[in-house]
């Protein structure tokens, strides 16, 4: 039974790949010669076979043919979209892709074994990394990737607002994936956490926009955005907190002899920056500029005064 | 036993490779395409042999030559190139390749990976620069050491910074697995020092050393552990007894959605009165440092320091030379 199904679907694929134009279901039934005579049974089986091809990624299109009174659905396979372009992958390149596939674990439903077979073979070679990253909602991801690959606009709901975006890049940072793109309404480049995107729809138009010459992903240093005059702040970080600052604030740190570090931040939002430094309690100290140091001191004194007043 | 659709996917990938390679051994096909030998032979001789476009005459059916464990295919020009990658497949390869590039030694010869990723991105119309991976804490020596310990089942001596208590402690731990919650990576382990299971946020492990001592597999198995790949539940636990009531400004109302507040009421002075559980006095003090300085700490549970914010401010001011 399985062999018969396999032969039938392969014959269907052979007909579609060799066809000079769209073929109706009836024409395909006649050419393949393996479908049941009963019309209902044929439609059921034909529908399942189409689904199997589509699930594999076969770009099967349906168009209407004939006069409007007697129109019928016809099936068409765009060979340009079906065939993998000649990538000319070397053995070393295929081996590296296999190595990446086996070494990194994306938590979700994605698998690239099929992809690697298409590219020339999958091998379960030895692995020494096994790093993992969460992929979240795979369907959202695939559609966003399609949008940015084909330069199609994406609309979705985010933070209770409907957005229309021209996607530029997908970025993994801090254990999450982010989409960065231009928001049409505000004409500004914004980043969105992909697992917070809902009601996603992708426009059909290819090449609806061009990528800018240069673009970058989300910047998680909120104090880098703001209306304050830009300054460079020099902060002394205790040895015990260097690792945390490096991994959470994404800033290079120069270590001194005793292991403490000096970090230089570009600041455009003073209050936000002071809040970040205060998270480090007395394990960090703003050295420069003096006015930022004084602002931090003033904020702490106001907190003390307020606390004394309310608890008096 | 492979399903018909799994055999279909393998055939559609294998035939182009076989044609391009001008034949191959059954052993190689079996290995390269994960095609069980018996199924492969059956599909070549009893299925593919009968495939071709209408009218299915011998001159347009696929021709299979099988001889001495080797196979050649002809009359299958329409299957001489593989099916294109799906967006999901291309993305998955790009993401994994990018992540691997971030993790492996820069000196390793991985230029072939860079060129392979370029080719994969190009075939679906993307630019590989459109997928960016920042490994964050995975790039650190501590992550590498932890991973090594997990693979080799070794204990680790760590210095861990407890954010809630602002306290560092040395612990000997038996690592069990890594997990993700929100945007942080956690290590689940048995802490020999505390003689209990603990969850450590990776970026708060200040120092780590690999111990010569192996993990006690027999002991850990007897504890009936949950699978280590599951996400970890919570960053930290709120105590059941500790709570505080704050009067906050509207601009600080973000704390209502961030923390499990038990009541929120509007006050006549345009302030919001919020009651929430607290984790520790340091945690409460840190929260007050993040809020507007005019925030009022109205009431706290017994055992919670009403001066938590004041005391923490005093400590920090001392660093800036104010020792009143």
- CATH code, domain carrying A229: 3.30.70.240
What CA–CA distance (Å, rounded) separates A110 from A145? Answer: 13
Mean pLDDT of A63-83: 84
Q: Identify whether the C-beta of residue A110 lies closer than 8 Å to the C-beta of residue B88.
A: yes
In a domain, A295, yes or no: yes
In a domain, A58, yes or no: yes
Q: Does A301 touch chain B (CB under 8 A)?
A: yes
In a domain, A208, yes or no: no
Verify whether the Cβ–Cβ distance A118 to B307 is below 8 Å: no
Mean pLDDT of B57-67: 92
Of residues B48 and B219, more confidently modeled: B48
Q: CATH number of the domain at A192, please.
A: 2.30.30
Mean pLDDT of B145-167: 88
Q: Does A145 touch chain B (CB under 8 A)?
A: yes
Residue A281 is nearest to which of B43, B123, B166, comparing CB atoms? B166
Verify whether the Cβ–Cβ distance B296 to A306 is below 8 Å: yes
What CA–CA distance (Å, rounded) separates B50 from A11? Answer: 9
What CA–CA distance (Å, rounded) separates A108 from A26? Answer: 40
pTM of the entire structure? Answer: 0.66
Phi, psi (deg, nearest 5) at residue B13 = -90, -35
In a domain, A240, yes or no: yes
Residues A125 and A145 in one domain: no
Q: What is the dihedral of CA B51, B56, B62, B64, to 10 degrees?
A: 90
From first CA to last CA, the distance across chain A in angstroms is: 86
**CA distance readout (Å), B159 to A126, B176, B204, B303:** 32, 17, 9, 28
Residues A304 and A280 in one domain: yes
What CA–CA distance (Å, rounded) separates B193 from B211? Answer: 14
Q: Does A199 touch chain B (CB under 8 A)?
A: no
C-alpha B160, offset from chain centre? 21
Distance from CA of B101 to the nearest CA of A (A): 9
Mean pLDDT of B194-223: 86
Verify whether the Cβ–Cβ distance A112 to B320 is below 8 Å: no
What strands lie across the sheet with B63-67, from one edge to the other? B24-25, B70-74, B63-67
Mean pLDDT of A42-70: 88
Residues A267 and A188 in one domain: no
Residues A47 and A119 in one domain: no
What CA–CA distance (Å, rounded) separates A149 from A164? Answer: 17
Q: CATH number of the domain at A26, please.
A: 1.10.10.10
Residues A73 and A106 in one domain: no
Residues A244 and A273 in one domain: yes
Question: Residue B229 above 50 pLDDT?
Answer: no
- The size of chain B, in residues, is 324
Verify whether the Cβ–Cβ distance B79 to A17 is below 8 Å: yes
Verify whether the Cβ–Cβ distance A31 to B53 is below 8 Å: yes
pLDDT of residue B257: 77
Q: Does A141 touch chain B (CB under 8 A)?
A: yes
B290 contacts in chain A (CB < 8 Å): 275, 278-279
What domain range includes position A125?
91-134
Best of B12, B40, B62 to substitute, by most chain A Cβ atoms within 10 angstroms, is: B12
Verify whether the Cβ–Cβ distance A104 to B50 is below 8 Å: no
Structural domains in chain B plus CATH codes = 4-79 (1.10.10), 87-134 (no CATH), 144-222 (2.30.30), 243-319 (no CATH)
What CA–CA distance (Å, rounded) separates B189 from B179? Answer: 11
Lowest average pLDDT, out of A105-109, A161-165, B36-40, goes to: A105-109
Name the residue of chain A whose CA is nearest to B307's CA: A307
Environment class of B207 (CB within 10 Å of its CB; exposed 0-12, middle 13-18, buried 19+): middle
Rg of chain A's alpha carbons, rounded to an integer?
A: 29
Q: Does A91 touch chain B (CB under 8 A)?
A: no
ipTM value: 0.72
Distance from CA of A67 to the nearest CA of B (A): 26
pLDDT-based confidence at residue B233 (cuts at 50, 70, 90) = very low
Mean model confidence pLDDT for chain A? 86
- The size of chain A, in residues, is 312
Verify whether the Cβ–Cβ distance B78 to A112 is below 8 Å: no
Residues A70 and A124 in one domain: no
Name the residue of chain B whose CA is nearest to A207's CA: B125
Residue B296 is nearest to which of A170, A240, A310, comparing CB atoms? A310
pLDDT of residue B230: 39
pLDDT of residue B181: 62
**Backbone φ/ψ region at B56: left (φ over 0), alpha (ψ -120 to 50), beta:** left
Q: Identify whether the C-beta of residue B287 lies closer than 8 Å to the C-beta of residue B279.
A: no
Split into its structural domains, chain A has a count of 4
Q: A251-255, B177-181, B285-289: which has the highest mean pLDDT?
A: B285-289
pLDDT-based confidence at residue A103 (cuts at 50, 70, 90) = confident
pLDDT of residue A195: 82
Q: A63-67, B11-15, B53-57, B299-303: which has the highest mean pLDDT?
A: B11-15
Phi, psi (deg, nearest 5) at residue A149 = -70, -40
Question: Residue B174 above 90 pLDDT?
Answer: yes
Percent of chain B whose pLDDT exceeds 70: 89
Task: Compute the half-sphere exposure of residue B73: CA atoms within 13 Å on the CB side of its CA.
Answer: 29
Mean pLDDT of A187-214: 89
Mean pLDDT of B254-272: 86
A115 contacts in chain B (CB < 8 Å): 85-86, 89-90, 92-93
pLDDT of residue A122: 80
Verify whether the Cβ–Cβ distance A117 to B33 is below 8 Å: yes
Q: How many CB atoms lie within 10 A of CB B138?
A: 23
pLDDT of residue B228: 44
Residues A148 and A114 in one domain: no
Model confidence pLDDT, tens digit, residues B70-125: 999 999 999 999 999 988 888 889 888 887 777 665 445 457 888 999 999 988 88
Q: Identify whether the C-beta of residue B208 lies closer than 8 Å to the C-beta of residue B168.
A: no
In a domain, A287, yes or no: yes
What CA–CA distance (Å, rounded) separates A156 from A194? Answer: 10
**Is the omega angle on the peptide bond into residue B312 within 30 degrees of 0, that is, cis?**
no
Non-local CB neighbours of B261 within 8 Å, separated by 6+ positions: B255, B274, B275, B276
Q: Which of A150, A172, A202 is the last residue of a domain?
A: A202
Q: Does A310 touch chain B (CB under 8 A)?
A: yes
Residues A229 and A300 in one domain: yes
Model confidence pLDDT, tens digit, residues A141-198: 888 988 998 899 999 998 788 999 999 998 887 667 889 999 999 998 888 888 888 9
pLDDT of residue B182: 58
CA angle A146, A147, A150 (to 5 degrees): 80
pLDDT of residue A175: 63
Mean pLDDT of A4-25: 95
B79 contacts in chain A (CB < 8 Å): 14, 17
pLDDT-based confidence at residue A83 (cuts at 50, 70, 90) = very high
A87 contacts in chain B (CB < 8 Å): 119-120, 122-123
Residues A275 and A236 in one domain: yes
């Amino acid at each position: 039974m399985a062999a018969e199904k396999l032969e039938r679907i392969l014959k269907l694929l052979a007909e579609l790949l060799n066809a000079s134009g769209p073929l109706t279901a009836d024409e395909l039934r006649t050419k393949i010669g393996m479908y049941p005579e009963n019309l209902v049974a044929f439609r059921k089986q034909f529908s399942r076979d189409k689904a199997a091809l589509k699930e594999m990624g076969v770009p099967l299109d349906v168009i209407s043919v004939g006069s409007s009174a007697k129109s019928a659905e016809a099936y068409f396979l765009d060979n340009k979209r079906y065939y993998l372009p000649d990538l000319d992958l070397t053995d070393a390149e295929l081996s590296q892709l296999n190595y990446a596939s086996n070494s990194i674990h994306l938590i979700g439903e994605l698998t690239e074994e099929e992809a690697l077979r298409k590219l020339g073979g999958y091998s379960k070679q030895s692995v020494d990394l096994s790093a993992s990253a969460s992929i979240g909602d795979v369907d959202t991801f695939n559609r966003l990737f399609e949008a940015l690959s084909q330069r199609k606009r994406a609309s979705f709901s985010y933070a209770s607002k409907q957005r229309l975006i021209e996607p530029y890049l997908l970025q993994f940072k801090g254990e999450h994936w982010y989409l960065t793109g231009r928001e049409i309404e505000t004409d500004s480049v914004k980043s969105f956490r992909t697992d917070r995107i809902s009601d996603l729809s992708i426009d059909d138009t290819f090449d609806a926009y061009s990528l800018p010459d240069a673009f970058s992903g989300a910047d998680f240093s909120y104090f880098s955005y703001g209306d304050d005059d830009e300054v460079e702040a020099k902060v002394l970080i205790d040895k015990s907190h260097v690792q945390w600052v490096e991994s959470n604030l994404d800033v290079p740190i120069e270590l001194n002899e005793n292991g403490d570090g000096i970090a230089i931040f570009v600041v455009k939002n003073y209050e936000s920056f002071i809040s970040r430094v205060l998270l480090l309690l007395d394990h960090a100290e703003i050295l420069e500029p003096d006015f930022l140091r004084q602002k931090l001191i003033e904020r702490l004194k106001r907190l003390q005064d307020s606390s004394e007043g309310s608890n008096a | 036993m492979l399903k018909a659709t799994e055999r279909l996917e393998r055939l559609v990938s294998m035939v182009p490779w076989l044609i391009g390679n001008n034949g191959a051994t059954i052993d190689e096909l079996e290995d390269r395409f994960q095609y069980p030998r018996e199924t492969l032979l059956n599909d070549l001789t009893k299925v593919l042999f009968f495939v071709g476009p209408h009218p299915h005459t011998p001159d347009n059916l696929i021709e299979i030559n099988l001889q001495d464990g080797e196979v050649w295919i002809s009359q299958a020009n329409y299957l001489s190139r593989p099916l294109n990658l799906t967006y999901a497949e291309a993305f998955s390869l790009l993401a994994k390749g990018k992540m691997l590039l971030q993790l492996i030694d820069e000196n390793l010869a991985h230029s072939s990976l860079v060129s392979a990723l370029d080719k994969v991105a190009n075939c679906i119309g993307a630019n590989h620069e459109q997928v960016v991976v920042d490994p964050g804490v995975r790039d650190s020596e501590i992550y590498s050491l932890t991973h090594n310990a997990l693979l080799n089942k070794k204990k680790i001596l760590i210095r861990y910074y407890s954010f809630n208590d602002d306290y560092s402690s040395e612990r000997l731990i038996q690592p069990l697995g890594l997990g993700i919650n929100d945007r942080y990576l956690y290590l689940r382990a048995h802490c020999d020092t505390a003689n209990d299971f603990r969850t450590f946020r990776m970026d708060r492990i200040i120092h780590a050393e690999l111990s010569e001592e192996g993990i006690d597999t027999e002991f850990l198995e007897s504890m009936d552990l949950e699978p280590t790949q599951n996400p970890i539940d919570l960053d930290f636990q709120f105590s059941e007894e500790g709570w505080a009531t704050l009067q906050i400004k509207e601009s600080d109302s973000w704390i209502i959605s961030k923390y499990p507040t038990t009541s929120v009421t509007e006050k006549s002075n345009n302030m919001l009165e919020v009651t929430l559980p607290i984790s520790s006095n340091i945690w409460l003090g840190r929260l007050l440092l993040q809020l507007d300085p005019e925030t009022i700490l109205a009431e706290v549970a017994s055992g919670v320091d009403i001066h938590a914010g004041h005391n923490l401010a005093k400590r920090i001011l001392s660093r800036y030379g104010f020792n009143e």
